[in-house]
Each structure stands twice: as C-alpha cells, then as structure tokens.
A and B are shown apart, each in its own frame.
Chain A
Amino acid sequence: MIAAVSTALILPKHPHAALSLAAGQLLAALNFFFLEKLVKLFTHAFVARREGGTSGLPGRFFAFASLKVALVYGVGAALTLSGRVDLIPLLAGFSLPLLALFLKSLMLAFGSGPNSLVRRAPRTAATSGNVAKPAALFLILALLVLHGAALASEATVATGSASVAAAPPEHAGSAPAEHATAKSEGGAQHLPNWIVLLNDYFPHNPVVHWMHENEILVFAWLSGLLFLVITWIAMRRPKPVPGQLQNALEWIVESMDDVCGGLLGSHKERYIIFICALFFYILTINLLGIIPGFMSATSSLDLTLALALITFAYVQFWGIRNLGILGYLDHLAGSPRDVIGFLMLPVMVPVHILGELAKPVSLSCRLFGNIFGEDTLIVVFVGATALLLKASLTALAIPPMLGISALFMMLQTLTAIVQALIFSLLATVYLYMMLPHEEHAHGETEPAHS
C-alpha cells in the first residue's frame, strides 16, 4: 500500500526514480517469497527428522535456494551493473517492505494480537494492548498520511496550476504579511494559529519557516501524538472498574465496534482496526481545531485526499485479495450472468471504474468541505467582531458576537464528530461492497420482526 501510494505520487515528477523504486519493491517481494518457501522447507525437514524420518534436507530445498540466489541476486546485480536505474531509489524500494515488517512487528509487540481489540467484554479488565494497538496502527497511518501530504503539497508548489490540490489558498506559498492583512478581511482564511504567531516573531528562523510552510503536517503530527499520549495515559494501568478517560475511550471503541462491526458482519475482526484508526485520527484532528491557536489539519484538501487515497487503496487491496483477480474484474464488470449482462459490458465497466474513482474524491471533498466551511464560518464572525471593535462599537460587538461564535463552535464540535463518523462509516460501506456477499444474504433476512 505504501509502495503503491509513494510510487504513484513520485511518478509524475521523477519517472525514472519511481520505476527503480518499483523495481526495488518487486525485488524485495521476490526475496520474501523465496525466503518464506525456504524457511517452510527447512522446518519441514527438521520436523520430519525429529519424527523419525529418514533424509535431511530435500532436494527441493537446494533447488529453491539456488533459484532464489540466481533470480534475486542476479536481477539485483544486473540492475546495478546495467546502470539503468538510480541506486538510491532502488535501495529505498528494497527496504520499504522491511520497514513495513518492522512496523508490523512493533504493532504486534504493542498489542497481544489483532483480535484483542474487538474480543473484549466490557466487564473484563482490559489489557493495555487494547487501545495501544489501534494507537500504533494510527501512528503508522499518520506516517503514511504525512508522506502523502508532503508529496502532494510539494507537487502543489511545483506545478502551481489550478489542480485540485492547489485549493487551500494560503497553504504553501504566501508570505506572513499576507496573513496579517488577510485575516482581517475574513475571506477564505484561517484564524492565525501559534505557528503563524511564531513566524511573525521569528521571521528568519529556518525551523519556524519550515513549520509555517508545512503547518498542515505539523498539526497532523501533533494530533497523532496527542492521541497517542491520551491513549497511553488512559490505558497505562487499565482497571477492572474503568476511570473516566478509560471509560470514555472504551465506550468509543465499543460503539464503533457495534456500528461498523454490525455492517461488516463476520469479516469484522480484520478490518475494524483500520476503521477505528481512521476514526480516531480524523476525530483528533477535527477536534484540535476547536482549541484557539490550533487549526484542524483536515481543513486542507491535501490531508483529506491523502486519507481518502489510503482508504481507496486499502479497499481495492482487500477487494482483490478477497475476490481474487477474476472475481474483482467480474465485480468491476457488474457481475454479468446472462446475455443482456454481457451486452451491457462496454457500458458497465467504465461506469463501475468511474464509480470507484469517485469514492476517494467524494470522501476527501466531503471532509474538507465540512471542516473548512465551519472554520470559515467562525473566521467570518470573528472578523466581523474585529471590524466592529475597530469601529469602537464595543457594546454591539462583544456580547452578541461572542454568543454567535460560541454557538458556531458548538456546531463545529458536532460537525467534527459526525464527519469523523461519516468518513469511517463510508469507508466501512465501501469495504462492505467489496466483500463477497453470499454470507450476508442470510444475515439480512435473519433479524425477524418480533
């Protein structure tokens, strides 16, 4: 997943490097495949010997070993010697799956297994793995998102065209002076946050400047870390009778489990962690925007697009994994079963492909539009307050405007929660559409009316 996203994101700018990255990843996949085979054969041989078998290592072991050496290292040497590919992206591509494995093992170290999250009765003492597990996944997700967002914003700066990602007006290129003037106009601008203030005070500090240019990244990281800290505090010493924080977290996890797990049915255990991670990440980011001096990073299309692309890749991956390549193509073709279905094939395939492609667009635009809209609403009213204050109409400015702003902030809280829920719910629904449906046909008829 990481591989596909990063390759796709690099591709337009450095096609050469992207190709070598992909080649490295392919090589690594080959390597892992052969390693797995070898280990299996090796252990087979040992088990056979211990159980009183006869021979040592079978001939297939050596065949596979020599095949592996020849293929993997041969291709590697050929690629290196031919000089066609850049070495660094090749190495990076080769090490990316290793990184993924490392993160996976980290995740396993955190939790006691993928099922620990969902198989938890409310009364039992929760082990600390329960929330640390989604938290770790969450960190990985955050990493992914930031990678995507960074590349996307780079692309925005590089192209500078009127593409989709160029939407946030003040995102990358603007000078601090523009910020200072624009915020009183109250247009499509954010309220100043602490990074902007820092940038005003230390205009020439490179660190501050970098943070100002990538404030979306900074806030996304910040909210990820915040959530990690909160879960760590809450689940550090899990009690049988949960305290306030632990209770709240458990309640959220359980209700997500109810809602999304009810939709996914028997497939729940595998996917609920991803859904929960999405939900918590978006929720934290959204709610961070309510605190004065912070902004919600989801009010940039870069981040929401990255999140939606991850969801898209995840859904397509599991769709292919579950249905198989042929089943997936069949699904894309609208499952033709009769003559009319096959006649409709040239119409149905583009329609389904377009429908699949529309999903990330609608997901990202919905989240971005809602959060950004709420932010803009508040900015407009704060700007109006500032204008009235400038005209020294204090009695008219402070009390009613404060009330209205507070009202909209309540609305913003509601929007933040509901949008996080909708994002993860829609991800669940898209996932559900990709799953084999035979088992669900019984599930639908089962709950009879009493």
Chain B
Amino acid sequence: MSGDGSAPGTTGDGSAIATGGDESASEAPADFHEADARPPTVAVVASLAAAGVAATAALIASPTGGALVGVGALAFLGGSLRGSARVLTWGATAGVAGIALAGYRGAPPEALLVAAVGLAVAWDVADHGVGLGEQVGRGARVRRNVAVHAGASLLVGALAAGLVYGVSLAVGGGQPVAALALLLAGGIALISALR
C-alpha cells in the first residue's frame, strides 16, 4: 500500500480507493494529473440509479430473477470503478439472465419491461462512462454529455416499451405468444425496409 501512495504517476489501478483519490487530487493542485482514466462520477451514479430501478422491478416480479439483476448491478458498479467494459458485459449478461428467469417464473409484463429498460440504460450509461473516462478522463466536465446520452437511451427504451406494451394491450390477452413474436418480427422487418 505504501508503494501506491508514493507513486502518484500510476493511474487506473487504484479503483477501490476511487473517491478518496479524487478528493486528495482536488485538494492538492500539485498532485494534479491529467491522465485519470476512470469513468466520471456522474456516469457511475446515473448507471447505478438505473440499475437499482431495474433490480427493484425484477425483485418485485421474481426474487430469484431480481437477485440475478442485482448481481448485474453490482457488476456495473465494479466495471465502472475499474474502467473495464468487459466486466460491464458480464453484468449485462447476468441481468439478461435474471430477466429471462423472472419471465420464466411468470412475472407481470409491466415489471419486466421496467426491468429491461432499466438494465439497458444502466449498461449503456456505464459503458458510455468507461469510454468517456478513456477519452476525456475523470476530471473533465462531462455532465451535459452524460445527461444527453442517458436521456436519449431512456427515451428509446421508454418508446420501445410503451409501443410494445400498447400493442400487446390492443391486440388483447387472448392471442398466442407466437403471434406476438411474429408481430415483432414483422415490425422489425418493416423498420429495416423503411431505412
């Protein structure tokens, strides 16, 4: 540990003491180093909030599935602090598995949609934060950028969820599941043709 303290030039490995290191850097301008490649705090916080929403929604639907989504949220936190996109991917995989499990156990569609959108936004913002950390660093002003990105991601998720939920309500509950899937495939084919 003493070696860590005496070498201010090393960056990127002090993930566990991320917030502490930031404090000391802002207090002592002599220790200013531009190459702090950790993701900006605002992205980490936004990602955690979205992941929390997703885990809560999944937990309401199914405890086991919710636990898996919670594991995914923890992986998002770890990946953000380490600045590792790979850990984020593992977290997203765990989250998708959790949603699949919750759905298999017969979760209501509302909770599952909220969980899916929350998971997507959480992963997107966390991964965006890692990219920002690499390109502009932790010390730069990024709030507007993260806000726009998170907002766009949330908007897309909300639109998609609203659309499919509305369609599923409109066609009524009696339709077989395969019909829904075919409808979805048709919709995607239509969008692809329009582009």
Q: Is this pair of chains taken from one and the same complex?
A: no
